[in-house]
Amino acid sequence: MRVKRLDRTSLVAGVVIVITGIVLLLDQLDAIDLKFGYAAPLLIAALGAILLTAGLEGPRDRD
Amino acid sequence: MESRPARGDLSTVTEDTPPQTPDQAPPPEPRRLTRSGSDSVIGGVAGGLGRYFGIDPILFRIGFVVLAFIGAVGVLAYLILLAFVPSDGSERTSGTSKAVAVAGAVVLGCLLVTFLSPPLFVFGPGLLILGLVGLAGVLLWRALGGSAGDDPARTVGRIALAALIGVAVIGAGVGVGLAAALGGGVVIAILAVVAGFALIGTAFVGGARWLIVPALALVLPLGIVSAAGIDLNGGVGDRDYRPSTTAQLQDRYELGIGSLIVDLRDIDLPKDQTTNLAVDVGLGEAVLYVPSDTCVSSNVQIGVGGSDVLDRGADGVDVTYADDAPAPAGRSKLHIDADIGMGVIEVVREGYLRDQFSHDWRNGQEVANGIKDFDGGTKCA
């Protein structure tokens, strides 16, 4: 049986999407007041982290 | 004394140095500018330039990206070189990962320009959309397997499929944005968190990268809508309110998307008291005309856009503008509380013209008719 290896791109993407989603959820629930000046770097950092990980890891091996 | 042979004079070469044959050392080909197939991100232009000049191609790539923001010179130059410089015919190898990195840099560049240049806020949303479309394209390209090889039919098929999926993703993103702006933000945020946890869970059993694009299609529009504070519950379209009595004057005027005009020039506001007026526009413009003898105070909040309140203006992201105007005895006072998601608000005093956000041909004609020009009037004229 073949052991599947850790897919770092999915892991990093999942973490940043969870973090971003929680921040946006807090804003929607009026627990925080998210401004563009804070949201833009957050979204850019999320995209950058995913792209960087995908770029470093390269295309996934096809089974 | 033995004379040295002149450089390049093969006739004087002695037998100690065997004559060169074509099999052993072929004469070097004349250096020729070609597009690189092996060091290629888009069309191999930067790779070819780097090889020709003996410089790291990343410098040319950075140059093209930088020049792209200076009147699109970089894009034009790249397209010209792509069109006229021949390919070297070699195979493309590892362009996909580099494409992701460079596309990421382009996206970040677009966003940087968007947020570092407040006067360019008009171009900002356009650059943002371009950046997001580029990102979606790269992710799709990766998802579909990267390079399509030399088969033209396969390439065309993949481009068509990528275009279809790209349109679907953009449409889904717009739909998510609309749903969030209509009050579904909590549900969308929860879905995004669930998608994120699903990605984390699947990462340990091989991953589910296909889930990244839909998860981003949830997060990005919601982020923009949340940060800008866009609320579309006020409806869509153009609204023009011209109350002539205080009884007709509403406390709040709302509009989701479109143009909202509230013209108070025909109304006599009560003297020695403050009339409060709230304006809420999700996406678009609000124009308020105020009477000539009324003092105006304001508290304006804008996610992305600009305000032009009488003779004062501001634009950019997270614009907050507050101005008080103590009214002398016997004068009416209007307090405007405005919340604009993405767009502009203008407050114009009676007898003045709209200012920086309106430069139409009528201005000159109205100025000729004796109406004061372009400064919108002061807060307590």
Minimal Cα–Cα distance from B121 to chain A, Å?
13
- Report the candidate in B102, B33, B34 with the shortest Cα–Cα distance to residue B68: B102
Contacts B218 to A, Cβ<8 Å: 21
Contacts A25 to B, Cβ<8 Å: 186, 189-190, 193
Q: Provide the greatest CA pair distance for chain A.
A: 50
Minimal Cα–Cα distance from B321 to chain A, Å?
15
A7/B206 CB distance under 8 A: yes
Q: Is the pLDDT of residue B342 over 80?
A: yes
Write down the mean pLDDT value for chain B. 73
Structure pTM?
A: 0.57
Count Cβ neighbours within 10 Å for each residue of A13-30 and write b for 16 or more, e otherwise: bbbbbbbbbebbbebbee
Least CB–CB distance from A47: residue in B135, B195, B222: B135
Q: Kindly compute the dihedral angle of the four CA atoms of residues B113, B318, B301, A25, in this order, to the nearest 10 degrees.
A: 120
Reported ipTM: the value is 0.90
Least confident of B128-142, B305-319, B332-346: B128-142
d(CA B91, CA B276): 69
Q: Quick one: average pLDDT of B70-88?
A: 71
Look at residue B209 and give its three-state secondary structure: helix
Q: Is the pLDDT of residue B139 over 60?
A: no
Tokens of B303: 């996610």
How much is the pLDDT for B8? 42
d(CA B304, CA B340): 8
A51/B193 CB distance under 8 A: no
